[in-house]
Amino acid sequence: SGMAQFKEYFLGNGTPKSPRIADTQKCLRVSGKHNDLEDVGFDTYHHTMFEMLGNWSLWDYFKKESITWSYELLTDPKWFWINPKHLCVTVFEWDKDTPRDEESADIWKSLWMPAEKISYLSAKDNWWAAWATWPCGPDTEIFYWVGNWEPTPTSNVWNDEDNWMEIWNNVFMQFNRLEDGTLQPLPNKNVDTWMWLERITTTLNKKKSVYETDVFADVIEEIKNIVGEGNYLDKSAKIIADHIRSATHMIADGVIPKNVDQWYILRRLIRRAIREFYKMWYEGKIICKISKIYINKFSSIYDSIKNNSAKILDELSKEEDKFSKTLKDWIKEFEKLVKWFEIAFERSWKKVTVISWDKAFKLYDTYWFPIEMTSELAKEKELTVDTKGFNQAFQKHQ
Ligand code: SER
């Protein structure tokens, strides 16, 4: 998990102490291929922070061993003993400069993975690269069935995506993308795999959602107690549970809320969580109470949390004070804006549905309301925001 630390080895510069490595790495992802941040709450397996469990082959084993051992770990009764019928896989389809990964497909078939369970997907899904240049390669991803019934023999990621949860990715780091875009074979073959701790925990506990595992379940329960059954919204609870876990770890690792870069991501996570409490009609100070559950749970595992618990609660409390003041004013201002659109529609019969960038920027500049949340609220009122214009103004402002 996390190939950047091994880049030089992949390029053949310097020999690794050991050709076989296992590691774990905390990872925050808010923009993946489906924009992970906005996927949180919509399904049972998206979350912004995850623990990547990795194993590495540096100039050692390659596709055959990696796929065979992955299958053994997942299905052998002496290990995870997952029903093979509840697994399916994807392999790299094809690209202008790289052939279809039939080699991986054939290895899966040799392990009795039926052809119907092997989907060939494009580079968007089955090619892993950290940047435009650097080591990269095709990958094969392994999915676990989370549907509410038994999967049909022909169900797979290609035709039934939402019922298959990605649990493991085996990346075959075998090329280097050069500045001019050409793919140069690496001097050695390498493997970089990563498994989602939260999702494999879901799988091994035969749950259907990561939010039912002991990473999140007690927090979800506490949120329900705080807001009451009548006001409880499942999507809001997942967003709060995920975002405050991520924020707790980020502050523990030295990030504080600001308006740029990773600090801005922390600000957005905290503010989105606060707003979700508002949507459940809860306006009191509450974020620290949620974070304390994570602090108590994870202090024995992470020194970063044990040693920074006071700082975590202090930063969250300060951000909550700042935002809850402006949030009420912001919502009033936003409602006025929506009213203005409704009147404009009645008068002119022209459905004006785009909030101009300057109005969106005023909401941001006056109330520090993240543009992404303005867009989300606008979407709920069937309006859109001219985010292109906003981003130009935001860049200038920065
Ligand atoms: N390839 C993924 C990463 O580099 C997992 O190792 O983060």
* DSSP string for 112-136: T--GGGEEEE-HHHHEEESSSSEEE
The response to whether residue 10 sits with its C-beta less than 6 Å from ligand 1 reads no
Query: What secondary structure does DSSP assign to 331-365, as a single string?
Result: HHHHHHHHHHHHHHHHHH-----EE-HHHHHHHHH
Between 389 and 97, where is the model more confident?
A: 389
Q: How far is the CA of 169 from the centre of ligand 1 (A)?
A: 9
Strands 354-355 vs 49-58: parallel, antiparallel or unpaired: unpaired
Band (pLDDT 50/70/90 cuts) for residue 116 is very high
Q: How far is the CA of 113 from the centre of ligand 1 (A)?
A: 25
The response to whether residue 2 sits with its C-beta less than 6 Å from ligand 1 reads yes
Average pLDDT for 338-348:
78
Amino acid (1-letter code) at residue 335: E
Rounded CA-CA distance 194/2 in Å is: 8
Q: Is the pLDDT of residue 351 over 80?
A: no
| Tens-digit pLDDT profile for residues 118-131 | 999 998 889 998 88
Q: Answer whether 241's CB lies under 8 Å from 220's CB.
A: yes
Rounded CA-CA distance 293/312 in Å is: 12
- How would you class 50 by CB atoms within 10 Å of its CB: exposed for 0-12, middle for 13-18, buried for 19 or more? buried
Rounded CA-CA distance 277/286 in Å is: 8
Q: Answer whether 318's CB lies under 8 Å from 287's CB.
A: no
Which tokens sit at 126?
């089955």
The response to whether residue 319 sits with its C-beta less than 6 Å from ligand 1 reads no
The response to whether residue 192 sits with its C-beta less than 6 Å from ligand 1 reads yes
Q: How far is the CA of 137 from the centre of ligand 1 (A)?
A: 11
Which atom of ligand 1 is nearest to 173's Cα? 1
Residues 6+ apart with CB under 8 A from 1: 23, 24, 25, 27, 52, 53, 54, 194
Minimum CA distance residue for ligand 1 atom 3 = 2
Question: Angle, nearest 10°, between helix axes 287-298 and 261-279?
Answer: 120
Q: How far is the CA of 54 from the centre of ligand 1 (A)?
A: 8
Rounded CA-CA distance 302/305 in Å is: 5
Amino acid (1-letter code) at residue 165: M
pLDDT averaged over the chain?
91
Q: How far is the CA of 204 from the centre of ligand 1 (A)?
A: 23
The response to whether residue 171 sits with its C-beta less than 6 Å from ligand 1 reads yes
Q: What letter would DSSP give residue 283? A: -
| Tens-digit pLDDT profile for residues 205-261 | 988 899 999 999 999 999 999 999 999 999 999 999 999 999 999 999 999 998 877
Which tokens sit at 116?
């119907």
Range ranked top by mean pLDDT from 276-280, 311-315, 392-396: 311-315
pLDDT of residue 30: 85
Q: Answer whether 267's CB lies under 8 Å from 258's CB.
A: yes
| Tens-digit pLDDT profile for residues 27-67 | 998 875 556 787 888 888 899 999 999 999 999 999 999 99
pLDDT of residue 381: 83
Q: How far is the CA of 171 from the centre of ligand 1 (A)?
A: 8
Rounded CA-CA distance 251/109 in Å is: 46
- Ligand 1 pocket test: which of 50, 128, 196 has the largest number of ligand atoms within 8 Å of its C-beta? 128
Q: Is the pLDDT of residue 321 over 90?
A: yes
Which atom of ligand 1 is nearest to 139's Cα? 1
